[in-house]
Structure 1
């Protein structure tokens, strides 16, 4: 409606040379001028409203596309993250913005530019059918320009996005490994690597921009040529008295609206192509099924379950087996230690218990129920795996302790868990105690303090089975011994230690020895020493 009012007033305005000026009609001239001013004001308000509504639409699309992407990524299995770089995953956020931009632009063109094109086209045809016929000749020319660049744009978009992902991955990798970089004095080496990757990205981006500029230049040339031809043909018609000056001015003025709307629709092509490539990259992630799909849920009680591994084997895809024919029974409330040389498969075995990876052969049972038939959320509420490298999130200490834990936890529960983990005193020495803020990964805490904090977090979880994978490696011997004894006193918990320090094995006195992916020994500290096998050799190196 706003555009129609504006068009009607403007048509009258361009009749000035034919009627108003020759007849010296000042009053109608003033009325038309005021009307045109109000039309411009209305058009300004309409443009503002349109842009504001499109901004809201863009935000809603962002919520749908980007937030769904985040939710999907967080639900993907561990195997996915072991084969993907963080930067590659994060670069998809930029890809998502390209999809959103294309969708918003398409909506503008469909509902606004297409409407303007039809209305203006009709008016132009009524003004002069011959000029309009010449105008319509640009459509096949524009179509040719679009299709001739389509293939190149697709390839360049793909290369540019992949190159951008490589740069992002390297930057994130270097920031995370900054301590190692500085200790090795390899800042320049890593900087040169990123420089080369960034230069490659800039080169691909420049090639893409150059091609886009060539296409835009050709489109502009076609548009200017059209304006010139219309002016030339129209001027000849005016000379022959086949067209008035006012009509020619009106046609040229409205032609700007027509070609602008046509250009807006045509310029969707590179955006849509970029969005298609971006959408394909997003779909690469969406094609990976989240680990909570197709899980048969059971209401089977896991509170005091016995864990049994029967002939369990595991290998990464087509690689040689990491674990072979593992048979192990872990009774409820049991405290045991798994030891072995580095790379023997200890951590992998424990990760199978929480179903980070599916076993290649055999089965893992809890109360005779295969863990594949237990929902992973229920399984991980029953078994809590604490990795060797502790990780905390930005926020308060209390927020970190309560992360993923029961909502019924009291302040007393928190203090008790922290005292058991021997981190309570360290926290109370901070100015704000449990409300003290931690930055990303708690850089103000030592490695040992972070390990004890994550142990306390595990103790607050509803899990009845706790797996500590070298979770005390950052502690001194005395602190470690006291902490292990505190954990051993938790009669309601089944605890599995993975340890290199055999002092932990001596305390638990229930030891399983793994070598080359196989269980080679089981028994108490004294029994294994008498065997004088691998455990005996490990003890001699302590």
Structure 2
């Protein structure tokens, strides 16, 4: 019986893991169904899901077999116990050591005793499942929360200043260094572009600035003189807003999506002002419900460019003093991108950092920082870098 219990626990663990893998494959396939269809890979993904389902089914059958064996053994033990009690009782009645009434009474009491005992024993599979599920949950809970670490800087107003990066190094796990001895300064209110080839570390640098990633080097990133690792994460993200290329859109109204993260009451005038900067207001006003229009899952009502413009407007409405745009205009046409860019550059109270591949964005910036193989190759104004005839000029094809 003990061996069965141990086997059952192991197989139950395998069933849960196999179920999770199967569910992940199905969700992944449905999420990328357009790409799968365009690459004619339906059959391959179907076979993968079929193989994982078959594996899950075999493990589930093995688990159910063990469960049925356990239930059968319990039933056999119960019946054998009843048979022993009746046999001994009948023997005592024949020898006149017990009356028939006493035998019936004892049998009834035994039934009342065995019922709850059987219920307790039947809890064993459920308790075992709960224990396995709890162990899997612990695998997640053992990961320390980014908010668990005590950080001394908790007020946002202390961060309003320059951003200084000193000898910043970073690598993912045990891989090669993504960033190597990066040094630069971003003055408060300036407009800076960070450029470089794919894999040069631009997005990694942006995520370090907003605290999504953390460097072990002390004082490698200073915000108004404070080490970024000493800044409470909510305060940091209140001061710096990161806008990715594929920003998230809730299945709520346009208004609710725009005020997400604003932390204060936003008037319709402020909403429209931000959307005009992002060149989205004219489209929203053509909708029947305008700013109260309900968006479908992941903003299905909006095109890719409109979702990006909504994310830009949301960043403008946020209280952040520093806006980091990571390829946030990649889905916009050139004319719309220029209009949005010109309006963003007029926000004098905001420090704006563009992570860009399109180099026409850089021409109007105060500074351009060019990364190459994880290091700063060039740093200066667009005119200075053009005169230098280095990496920046080669990107522009000059």
Per the normalisation by structure 2, the TM-score is 0.95
Partner of 2:208: 352
Structure 2 gaps of 5+ residues are none
1:391 aligns with 2:248: yes
Moved over 6 A (4+): none
Partner of 1:410: 267
Aligned length: 396
1:334 aligns with 2:190: yes
Q: In 2, are the aligned partners of 1:338 and 1:496 still within 8 Å (CA)?
A: yes
Partner of 1:438: 295
1:482 aligns with 2:362: no
Q: In 1, are the aligned partners of 2:275 and 2:313 still within 8 Å (CA)?
A: yes
Q: Per-residue CA shift, 1:20-59, capped at 9, x if unaligned?
A: xxxxxxxxxxxxxxxxxxxxxxxxxxxxxxxxxxxxxxxx
RMSD: 1.6
> Relative to structure 2, which stretch is displaced further, 448-457 or 161-170?
161-170
Residue 428 of structure 1 deviates from its aligned partner by: 1.5
**1:105-184 equivalence runs, <5 A:** 145=1, 147-184=2-39
Q: Per-residue CA shift, 1:491-528, capped at 9, x if unaligned?
A: 00000111111110012252111111011012222322
Tell me the SS of whatever aligns to 2:164: strand
For 1:306 and 1:360, locate their aligned partners in 2 and report how far apart those are by CA, in whole Å: 21
Q: Per-residue CA shift, 1:184-222, capped at 9, x if unaligned?
A: 121121111111111111111111111111111011011
**1:55-66 equivalence runs, <5 A:** none
Distance change (3 Å), C-alpha of 1:424 and 1:300? closer
Partner of 2:49: 194
Residue 304 of structure 1 deviates from its aligned partner by: 2.9
Task: Pick from 94, 100, 108 the counterpart of residue 245 of structure 1.
Answer: 100
For 2:397 and 2:102, locate their aligned partners in 1 and report how far apart those are by CA, in whole Å: 103
> Relative to structure 2, which stretch is displaced further, 219-228 or 381-390?
219-228
Tell me the SS of whatever aligns to 1:441: helix
Residue 471 of structure 1 deviates from its aligned partner by: 0.3
For 2:97 and 2:282, locate their aligned partners in 1 and report how far apart those are by CA, in whole Å: 97
> Relative to structure 2, which stretch is displaced further, 493-502 or 226-235?
226-235
Tell me the SS of whatever aligns to 1:395: coil
Q: In 1, are the aligned partners of 2:190 and 2:366 still within 8 Å (CA)?
A: no
Distance change (3 Å), C-alpha of 1:303 and 1:415? farther
For 2:149 and 2:382, locate their aligned partners in 1 and report how far apart those are by CA, in whole Å: 43
Tell me the SS of whatever aligns to 2:377: strand
Structure 1 gaps of 5+ residues are 1-144
Residue 271 of structure 1 deviates from its aligned partner by: 2.4
More helix by share: 1
Partner of 1:23: none
Q: In 2, are the aligned partners of 1:333 and 1:491 still within 8 Å (CA)?
A: yes
Task: Pick from 414, 423, 430 the counterpart of residue 280 of structure 2.
Answer: 423
Q: Per-residue CA shift, 1:435-457, capped at 9, x if unaligned?
A: 11112211221100000001111
Partner of 1:289: 144
Q: In 1, are the aligned partners of 2:159 and 2:223 still within 8 Å (CA)?
A: no
Residue 460 of structure 1 deviates from its aligned partner by: 0.7
Tell me the SS of whatever aligns to 1:393: coil
Partner of 1:530: 387
1:495 aligns with 2:352: yes
